[in-house]
Amino acid sequence: MRDYDFVVIGSGIAGLTFAIKAAKHGRVAILTKRKGADSNTAWAQGGVACVTSDEDSFDLHICDTIEAGAGLCDPGAVETVVKEGPARIRELVELGLQFDQRDISGHREFDLGREGGHSKRRVLHVHDLTGHEIETTLLRAARSSPNIELLENHMAVDLITAAKLGFATEDHCLGVYVLDEVSGTVETLRSDRLVVATGGCGKVYLYTTNPAVATGDGVAMAWRAGAVIANMEFIQFHPTCLFHPLATSFLISEAVRGEGGILRNRKGEDFMSRAHPKGALAPRDIVARAIDAEMKRTGAQCVYLDITHRSREFLQERFPNIYETCLRNGIDMAEEPIPVVPAAHYQCGGIKTDINGATSLPGLYAIGEVACTGLHGANRLASNSLLEGLVVAHRACEAIVRHRPPAHPAGSLSLPEWVAGDTQDVDELVVIYHNWDEIRRLMWDYVGIVRTDKRLQRASARLRNLQREIQEFYWNFRITVDLLELRNLATTAALIVDSALSRKESRGLHYTMDYPEMDECLRRDTLLSVAS
Ligand code: SIN
C-alpha cells in the first residue's frame, strides 16, 4: 500500500492543473492509464473561451453560456467560471503558453477566434493545436515538480470507500485500487483526497471526436462508489468530424465555421441558412440535428464544410493541423469542401459536484469533463470546457487544502489488498471486442442525436444483459485494461440511457421525437445514484 496526500486520476488540463497546485501542499500521485499526454485535452483544437478584450464583457459571456445551456445552467457556476477565467489564463501564460496574438493599432493583442453561440470573438488559441500546447506546457510543469509522481500505464480499477469496507461511519473515500499494466498487479493507493479528472466518454459511441482513452472511467467508478451522477443524457455531438475511412475521430474545429466556413449538402446548397438565422454558427445541437436531418433527407453519408473562399496562406497559418491532415487524406481544403459528419464530442453531465469539485461522497472530488458543476446545463457553449477545467481545478485545490477533512477513523487503518481470487487469463479477447463494438453501435443507433422512447428502451434492455455478461467475465478472468474499459463503457452507456429515459421532454442536447417540446415543469437536473 502506498500513501499520498493527494491522488489525481487523469492527466488532462484539470488533473494536471490541480496536481501542480496541490504539489505545494503535499505529495501527489497522478494516475494515467496510458502516457501522460493521452487525454482529451491534447486533442482540443478550438481553444479557451475567456473575456480578454475591451469589446467583450463578463455579462455577455455569462449570457451566451446560459442561453446555450437551455435553462439548466447553474448561474452561480457560470459567473464563477467566467469571472475567474482571466486569472487562470494569466497563470497558463506564466507557465510559458503562448496564445496566438496579432497587431492591433501598433500593439499586440490576443488573436481571438469565434465559435458558435458566442456573441463576441473570445476564443484564445494556439493555431488549431491549442489543447496540445496546453497539455505540453502543463506536463512540463508537473514533471519538474519533485512532489509529483506521474504513474503512467496505471489504470484505476475501483474506489475504496468506508461503506464498501463495512465501516459503520459516515461514508468516505479512502483510496483506490490501481492496475499496473506493466506488472499486471493491482496496487492499493491510500489517500483521503482523491480527485477524479478522467475526462469524458466519447468512446461509448461508434463515431466520436475523442481519443481512445475516453471510456467513461470516472463516472462509472464514482457511480459504483455511490456518488451522485447528473445529467448524463446531455451528450454533445460535434457537427463536423472529418468523414474519411482512414481518419476517423479527426475533428474539424468549429473555428473553421467561425472564420466563414459554410455547410453545404451534396448539391452545394447552404442548408444551414434555411435552418437557423445564425446559419453554420448556430448552437451546436441545432447544427448537429440539421446535418443529421439533411443526411437522412438526401440519403447522403456526409455533408460538406466549404471554406474555399479563404486563401491558402490564411488556412495554412490559422489551421495548420487541419490543413495538413486533410491534405494527407487527399482533401485540399483550399480548393474543395471538406466531407464532415456529426460525432459524439462532449459529456455535459457527469459526477455531480459543487463549484469546488466536491462530490456527494466525502473525500472524493471531480474536476474537468467528468464533473457536472452546472456550468454547461443542457448544452455546453463551445470552448467553455478548458476554462472550466482550469478554474475548478484551482478552486478544488484551494478548498481541499483549506478544509482538510477530519481524519477518518479508517484513515489510519491499513486498507485490504485487492483480491484477485481464482482468476485465469482471458483466452478469448474476441468476446471483449465484440461487446465493445456492440455497445458503441447500439448507442449510436438508439441513443444518438435524435431519440425515441422505443429505441431507448431497446438499448436499455440490451445493456442490462451486456452488463451481466461483462460482470461474469470480469470475475472469472484476471483484469486487463480492455476488460476494465469495457465494464466502464457499459456502465456509462446505461447511465446515459437511464437519464435519457427519465427526461420526458426535449431540451438542449436531448432531443426525443416522443416529446419534441421543452417543458418548463421539467426544468431540473437528472440525478442518479446507486441508492436512488
Ligand atoms: C472545436 O474546436 O470545434 C471544439 C471546441 C470545443 O468543443 O469546445
Ligand 1 atom with least separation from CA of 254: 3
Our mutation pick for probing the ligand 1 site, out of 122, 254, 380, counting the most ligand atoms within 8 A of Cβ, is: 254
Rounded to the nearest whole angstrom, what is the distance from the C-alpha of residue 208 to the centroid of ligand 1? Answer: 13
**Where do the domains of the chain lie, and which CATH numbers do they carry?**
240-342 (3.90.700.10), 429-528 (1.20.58.100)
Phi, psi of 382 (to 5 degrees): -50, 140
pLDDT along the chain (532 residues), means of 10: 94 98 97 91 93 97 96 98 98 97 90 93 96 97 98 97 81 94 93 96 96 97 98 97 90 94 96 93 91 92 97 97 97 98 97 98 97 98 97 97 66 71 73 91 96 98 94 82 95 98 98 98 97 78
pLDDT at 422: 67
Name which residue sits closest to atom 8 of ligand 1, judged by CA.
383
Q: Which is catalytic among the residues 114, 122, 264, 284?
A: 284
- Does the CB atom of residue 46 touch ligand 1 within 6 A? yes
pLDDT score recorded for residue 248: 82
Residue 43, burial from CB neighbour count under 10 angstroms (0-12, 13-18, 19+): buried
Q: What's the confidence (pLDDT) of residue 154?
A: 98
For 332-351, give one letter per residue: b (16+ CB within 10 A) or e: ebbeebbbbbbbbbbbbbbb
String of DSSP letters for 53-101:
STT--HHHHHHHHHHHTTT---HHHHHHHHHHHHHHHHHHHHTT----E
Please give the radius of gyration of the chain, using alpha carbons only, rounded to the nearest integer. 22
Q: What is the pLDDT of residue 410?
A: 47
| Alpha-carbon gap, residue 394 to 488, rounded angstroms | 28
Angle at 30 (CA atoms; ends 25, 33), nearest 5 degrees: 175
Look at the block and give the residue holding cell 457556476.
77
Instruction: Tell me, in angstroms, the distance from the centre of ligand 1 to residue 4's CA.
Output: 35
Rounded Cα–Cα distance for residues 508 and 500 (Å): 12
Measured from the Cα of 346, ligand 1's closest atom is 7
Q: Which residue has the cell 465484440?
A: 434
From ligand 1's centre to the CA of 346, what distance in Å? 9
Q: Is 129 in the pocket of ligand 1 (CB under 6 A)?
A: no
CA of 412 to the centre of ligand 1 (A): 45
Task: Among 383, 386, 387, 388, name the best residue to mutate to test ligand 1's pocket (greatest count of ligand atoms within 8 A of Cβ).
Answer: 383
The alpha carbon of 422 and the centre of ligand 1 are apart by a number of angstroms equal to 46
Q: Quick check: is 284 catalytic? A: yes
Cβ–ligand 1 contact at 337 (below 6 Å): no
Q: Is the CB of 171 under 6 A from ligand 1?
A: no
Could you tell me the distance, in angstroms and rounded to a whole number, from the CA of residue 522 to the centre of ligand 1? 29
CB 32 less than 6 A from any atom of ligand 1: no
Closest CA to 282 of 243, 314, 239: 239
Q: Would you say 140 and 331 are in contact if contact means Cβ atoms under 8 Å apart? A: no
C-alpha cell at 256: 473553421
Query: Given ligand 1 and candidates 48, 123, 238, 241, which is best to mutate, with the most ligand atoms within 8 Å of its CB?
Result: 238
Are the CB atoms for 16 and 139 separated by under 8 Å?
yes
Query: Counting atoms of ligand 1 from 1, which one is nearest the CA of 115?
Result: 3
Q: Position of cell 448561474? A: 75
Q: Which atom, in ligand 1's list, is nearest to the CA of 384?
A: 8
Distance CA 237, CA 383 (A): 14
Q: Ligand 1: distance of its center to the CA of 360 in Å? A: 30
Q: How far does the centroid of ligand 1 lie from the alpha carbon of residue 369, in Å?
A: 13
Other beta carbons less than 10 A from residue 362's beta carbon: 16
pLDDT of residue 421: 66
Q: How far apart are CA 504 and CA 253, in angstroms?
A: 32
| Closest C-alpha residue for ligand 1 atom 4 | 46
Cα(500)–Cα(457) distance, rounded to whole angstroms?
10
Measure the CA–CA gap between 394 and 440, rounded to whole angstroms: 34
Q: Is 45 in the pocket of ligand 1 (CB under 6 A)?
A: yes
Question: What is the reported pTM?
Answer: 0.95
Q: Best substitution site from 13, 41, 45, 252 to test ligand 1's pocket, by max atoms within 8 Å of Cβ?
A: 45
Positive or negative, the Cα torsion across 491, 415, 154, 421? negative
> Contact 350/373 with Cβ under 8 angstroms?
no
Residues 250, 252: Cα–Cα separation, whole Å: 7
